[in-house]
């Protein structure tokens, strides 16, 4: 009876998806119904990529529970999003550049314990002033992040300041594309604000949102040649519902081939982002994304 209730509870993606006892972390018994995916990390590395999770995928959990899930699934990179509860013990503490400073070391220790590296943060606003942007960059630096993902207003003077901060902090700023009519739905806008700027200004390429906007994702990848900082790995079906990577309409393998052909030097992370799935299906679909991504990397590596 206890097992039945546990499985039913997973349908809402609550905290009980994860082990309450740290000794159980990684034990399949702590993750009933969740299959551990087969991921070839060496093939992914050889292909020149990394695979991670946008923490928004597990937004009904706290970040610490998300990291425990990632440890179990064998995923080593995360993009943090602002507003996620830090933990079950501290649900009122929200992740982001406004979080109390005393929790930063605790979060860094949790990331280390889970064998997960926080690479990126967003989508977040950097504001219109140097002071507001510095607050974001200061936090990102303390967290050891590579990227900040945002959607600033299209203002060339603003981007001159942001480019200065990117080089000062050695942190990239990646513009994210929400569906049309959002600011950066079209790669042309990313190229406009990037023109004449350092390579630290570029794109967080959301492959599914491009398709939702009526664009061809492979063409967008080619158009942004040299300006892709990271990606939101998203595949969708004909109803525009999230499906595992390679099982929808975005031409997942073609996207990876087009990006690999550009020979990026930053080993861009594909952050899995699910918006329309729950419960055990969510974790298993994330696992399928990893397996299919890994398979394509094996083919690219040949």
- Mind listing the pLDDT tens digit for each residue in 261-296? 999 999 999 999 998 766 678 999 999 999 999 999
- Mind listing the pLDDT tens digit for each residue in 209-229? 999 999 999 999 999 999 999
Q: How far apart are CA 142 and CA 102, in angstroms?
A: 12
Closest among 174, 169, 175, 173 to 144, alpha carbons compared: 169
Q: Which residues on neighbouring strands pair with residue 281, listed in sequence order?
A: none
pLDDT for the residue 301: 81
Domain boundaries, the chain: 2-301
- On whether the CB atoms of residues 177 and 199 are closer than 8 A, the answer is no
pLDDT for the residue 26: 53
Q: How far apart are CA 50 and CA 265, in angstroms?
A: 12
pLDDT for the residue 2: 39
Closest among 8, 64, 62 to 32, alpha carbons compared: 8
Q: How far apart are CA 33 and CA 111, in angstroms?
A: 24
Topology classification of domain 2-301: TIM Barrel (3.20.20)
Q: How far apart are CA 64 and CA 62, in angstroms?
A: 5
Q: Tokens 């991921």 label which residue?
A: 39
pLDDT for the residue 24: 37
pLDDT for the residue 8: 34
- On whether the CB atoms of residues 232 and 176 are closer than 8 A, the answer is yes
Question: How does DSSP classify residue 53?
Answer: E
Q: Per-residue pLDDT for the chain (302 aa), expressed as one digit of tens each?
A: 433 333 333 434 433 343 333 333 456 666 888 999 999 999 999 999 999 999 999 999 999 999 999 999 999 999 999 999 999 999 999 999 999 999 999 999 999 999 999 999 999 999 999 999 999 999 999 999 999 999 999 999 999 999 999 999 999 999 999 999 999 999 999 999 999 999 999 999 999 999 999 999 999 999 999 999 999 999 999 999 999 999 999 999 999 999 999 999 999 999 999 987 666 789 999 999 999 999 999 999 87
**What are 179's two structure tokens?**
């569906």
226 φ, ψ (degrees, to nearest 5): 90, -5
- Interstrand relation of 242-243 and 235-236 (parallel, antiparallel or unpaired): antiparallel
Closest among 128, 200, 138 to 164, alpha carbons compared: 200
């Amino acid at each position: 009876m206890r097992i039945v209730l546990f499985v039913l509870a997973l349908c809402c993606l609550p905290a009980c998806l994860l082990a309450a006892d740290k000794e159980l972390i990684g034990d399949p018994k702590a993750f009933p119904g969740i299959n551990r995916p087969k991921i070839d990390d060496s093939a992914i590395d050889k292909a020149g990529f990394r695979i991670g999770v946008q923490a928004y995928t597990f937004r009904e959990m706290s970040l610490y529970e998300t990291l425990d899930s990632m440890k179990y699934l064998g995923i080593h990179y995360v993009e943090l999003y602002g507003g996620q509860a830090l933990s079950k013990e501290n649900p009122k503490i929200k992740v982001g550049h406004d979080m109390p400073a005393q929790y930063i070391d605790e979060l860094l220790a949790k990331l280390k314990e889970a064998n997960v590296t926080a690479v990126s943060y967003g989508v977040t606003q950097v504001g219109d002033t140097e002071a507001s942007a510095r607050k974001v960059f200061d936090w990102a630096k303390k967290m050891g992040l590579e990227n900040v993902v945002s959607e600033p207003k299209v203002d060339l003077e603003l981007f001159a300041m942001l480019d200065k901060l990117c080089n000062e902090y050695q942190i990239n700023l990646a513009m994210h594309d929400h569906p049309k009519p959002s600011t950066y739905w079209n790669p042309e806008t990313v190229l406009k604000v990037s023109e004449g700027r350092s390579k630290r200004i570029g794109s967080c390429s959301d492959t599914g949102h491009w398709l939702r906007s009526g664009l061809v994702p492979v063409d967008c990848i080619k158009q942004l040649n040299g300006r892709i900082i990271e990606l939101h790995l998203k595949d969708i079906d004909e109803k525009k519902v999230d499906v595992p990577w390679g099982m929808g309409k975005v031409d997942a393998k073609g996207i990876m081939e087009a990006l690999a052909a550009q020979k990026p030097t930053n080993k861009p992370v594909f952050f899995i982002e699910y918006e329309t799935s729950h419960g055990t299906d969510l974790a298993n679909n994330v696992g399928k994304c990893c397996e299919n991504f890994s398979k394509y990397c094996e083919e690219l590596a040949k």
